[in-house]
Amino acid sequence: MESILTSIKKKLGLGADYTPFDPDIIIAINAAFSVLTQLGVGPEKGFFICGPSETWNSFLGDRDDLEFIKEYVYLKVRYMFDPPAGSVLSAMNELIKEYEWRINVAVDPKEDE
């Protein structure tokens, strides 16, 4: 089972045992989960983490089609926690918007034509 906090910290370049920024990272992860809840992903009543014990499986369940959510959460956390400068920031923002669009496509029920 893959820890949400540990995997996001790894993508940020932080070791699992390095904890000084954990409260800030957890707040950013939970903010991303709030957005995902509004987009219709995850448990209906929302989802949050408190530490390294919560896993991606506990959030995504058996939805293999939403693996890109992990990258979305990382991008949102990076954007809030350690934003890059200049054009990289703009590119990251565009990628976040694209993922949000893809999330909407993935979770919206298909209309009968």
Compute the distance between CA of residue 3 and CA of residue 55 in angstroms, rounded to an integer.
4
Tell me how crowded residue 35 is: count the other CB atoms within 10 A of its CB.
15
3-state helix, strand, coil in the chain (%, to 5): 60, 0, 35
User: Cα–Cα distance between 97 and 100 in angstroms, integer?
Assistant: 5
- The pLDDT averaged over each successive group of 10 residues in the chain (113 residues) is 94 95 97 95 92 94 86 96 90 95 84 51
Indicate the DSSP class of residue 4. H
Which pLDDT belongs to residue 7? 96
How high is the pLDDT of residue 109? 66
Q: Which residue has the tokens 């790894």?
A: 10
Q: What is the pTM of this model?
A: 0.90
* pLDDT computed for residue 110 by the predictor: 65
Q: Where are the domains of the chain?
A: 4-107
For residue 75, give the nearest of 6, 10, 11 by alpha carbon. Answer: 11
